[in-house]
Amino acid sequence: MNAPNKSGWKPEMGEAGAGPVARTASGDAGLALEEALIFELGGTGKCGVDFDEEPGDVSPALAKFARKAPVDLPALTEPEAVRHYTRLSRQNYAIDLGPFPLGSCTMKHNPRLNEAMARLPGFADIHPLQPMDTVQGAYEVIEQLADWLCKLTGMEAVAMSPKAGAHGELCGILAIRAALEARGDAREVILVPESAHGTNPATAAFAGYRVENIPATKDGRVDLQALKDRLGPDVAGVMITNPNTCGLFERDMKAISDAVHAVGGLVYCDGANFNAIVGKVRPGDLGVDAMHINLHKTFSTPHGGGGPGSGPVVLSELLAPFAPIPFVRRDEKGRLRMVEERGAKDHLPQTFGRMTAFHGQMGMFTRALTYMLSHGVDGLRQVAEDAVLNANYVLRSLEGDLDAPFGEAGPCMHEALFSDENLPEGFSTLDIAKGLIDEGFHPMTVYFPLVVHGAMLVEPTETESKAGLDRFIASMKSLTARAKAEDESLKSAPHYAPRRRLDETRAARKPVLTYKGEGVPPGTPSLSEIGGS
C-alpha cells in the first residue's frame, strides 16, 4: 500500500475517534484539543503581573466617573493566557500548515527572508513621526519599491499609501474623478463587467458613481460589443479585473481601453490577479490608467489573518498629477522627504488629498521589496509562469471529474474554475468544500464568481509543489466520486474538524455577536447542537 504517511496512521489502527472511550474526561482527544471561551476560563483574583495596591483616593475631578460595578474581565495567569491562544491556534488552519487554494485570494507562501528583513531594527523599530533624516533608509525602501512597481506595470507614478485592494480601488477611482473634474467634465457612470471583482461596483458607488453592469460572453470575458454600445459622454470609466475572476485573461483589454478613451473615459484595472502576469505583461501597455497591486498577494506579504494588506496604486501619466499625499520625493540635496499637505502645492498641486494618516504599510513594503530583490525580474516572470502552470495542472486534472465551464476556451491563468454541473441532485458545492476540511485542506472559494452556478474557484499559487498539487487533486477526485456515489456522509462533513458543519443560515439570521454569560438568549444553540463534538 502506498501509505501517504509512513510513520503516522495505519489502517490496522482503526479510524480516528474509534478509541476505547466515546469521550475523554477532559474533552481533548490526544492532540485534538478542546478549548473554552476565555470568559468561561477566567476566575477572579488571578493576575499575570503584580500591580500596585489600588489607590484609595482617585482624582476628585474624575471621581464621579469611578466604576461602581466590577469590570468582569476574565482573569488568567500568564501561562493560562498563553495556552488559551496557542490551543485555539491549533484549531485553525494556516498557509504554514498546508495548501490554501482560496481562489482570488492568492494565499501563497510568505518567504522567511521577507520576515527577517522586516524585523531589522532599522525598519521595525521606527515611528512615522520620527525626524526625516533618521529614517532615510526606510524612505529609500519606499522609493525603490515604487520604482519597481512603476517599471513592472509600465506606469508613470504610484500611490503607496492605500492599505489594501479595495482601498486601492477607491484611490484609483478618486484619482479618475479628480482628473475628470479638473477638466470640467464630471461624469456619472462607471461600467463594471460581470467578470470583475465584487468590490469594484462597491468602490464606484462609494465614490459617488452610478454602476452599470456589462455582461460576460459565453467564454467568460467582457462582452466588448455590449461595452462599446454602452459607452458615451456620461461614462466616467470602466473597472476591469484582469486577469478576471473567472481566471481568464481579458484578451480585448487594449481594444476596451481604446474604446473607453475614445469617448473621454478612463480605465481602472483591478490588479488583484497581477501575480498571473507579473513580468510578462505591462498593464500600462494595455491602456490602463490606474491599477492597484496587492502586495499581500502578488508580492507574498502575509494576509488573511497573518498580516495587514497593502494596495499601492499605479497611475498613468494623465492621472499622476492627482495622486494622494503623502509621498516620498528627493529634495535638491538628494535627501528623501515625505511630502505632506504643506509641500504638496510645490510638488503636486492637483493632488486629490489624503487617504491615510501616514505613508502606508511599512512592514509590507519591506517584505515586498525583499521578495522582488530576492527573485529578480527573471524570478518574478517565473512566479507568473508557475502560477499559471499550476492552475492549468489542476484544471486539466479535474475537468474529467468536475464541470469546467471555460475549460474549452483555452488555458486558464492563475486559477481554475469549476461548476456544480456534474454533481448529482442533492449534492452541492458546499459539500465538496466541507469535505475538503476533512481532507486537511482549506476549502477553495465557493459560489463566486456569480456567473458560474455553484462555482468552485481554485487558486493553487506557484508555491505548491507538484506533489502537493497531486495530493489536493486526489482529495478532490475522492470527494467528487463520493458525491457521485451519493455518499450521504458527505452532506454532514466535516466529521474530523474541531466543529462539525455549522448552521450558517441560522448564524446569519439570528447572530449572537456578544458573549452574554448566563444571559445568552433562550433558543441560542448550545455547542453540541451546532455540531460541537
Chain residues binding other proteins by CB under 8 A are 447, 450, 504-505, 508-509
Report in angstroms how near the CB of residue 193 gets to other proteins at its nearest: 16
Report in angstroms how near the CB of residue 100 gets to other proteins at its nearest: 21
In whole angstroms, what is the distance from residue 165 CA to residue 225 CA? Answer: 29
Report in angstroms how near the CB of residue 509 gets to other proteins at its nearest: 5
The one-letter amino acid code at 495 reads H
Sheet of strand 313-315, all strands in order from the earlier edge strand to the far edge: 157-159, 313-315, 290-292, 266-270, 235-241, 189-193, 210-214
Report in angstroms how near the CB of residue 508 gets to other proteins at its nearest: 4
Using the minimum distance from each CB to other proteins, give the nearer residue, 289 or 420.
420
CB atoms within 10 A of CB 232: 11
Q: Are 475 and 493 in contact (CB under 8 A)?
A: no
Using the minimum distance from each CB to other proteins, give the nearer residue, 40 or 229.
229
In whole angstroms, what is the distance from residue 163 CA to residue 159 CA? Answer: 11
Using the minimum distance from each CB to other proteins, give the nearer residue, 31 or 508.
508
H/E stretch holding 446? strand 445-446
In whole angstroms, what is the distance from residue 48 CA to residue 465 CA? Answer: 44
Using the minimum distance from each CB to other proteins, give the nearer residue, 125 or 504.
504
CB atoms within 10 A of CB 94: 14
Report in angstroms how near the CB of residue 290 gets to other proteins at its nearest: 26
Report in angstroms how near the CB of residue 272 gets to other proteins at its nearest: 19
Closest CA to 472 of 99, 5, 92: 99
Query: What are phi and psi for residue 304, nearest 5 degrees?
Result: 65, 50
Using the minimum distance from each CB to other proteins, give the nearer residue, 141 or 483.
483
Using the minimum distance from each CB to other proteins, give the nearer residue, 5 or 505.
505
Which residue shows C-alpha cell 463566486? Answer: 448
DSSP 3-state assignment of 117? Answer: helix
Using the minimum distance from each CB to other proteins, give the nearer residue, 93 or 447.
447
Report in angstroms how near the CB of residue 91 gets to other proteins at its nearest: 23
In whole angstroms, what is the distance from residue 177 CA to residue 312 CA? Answer: 18
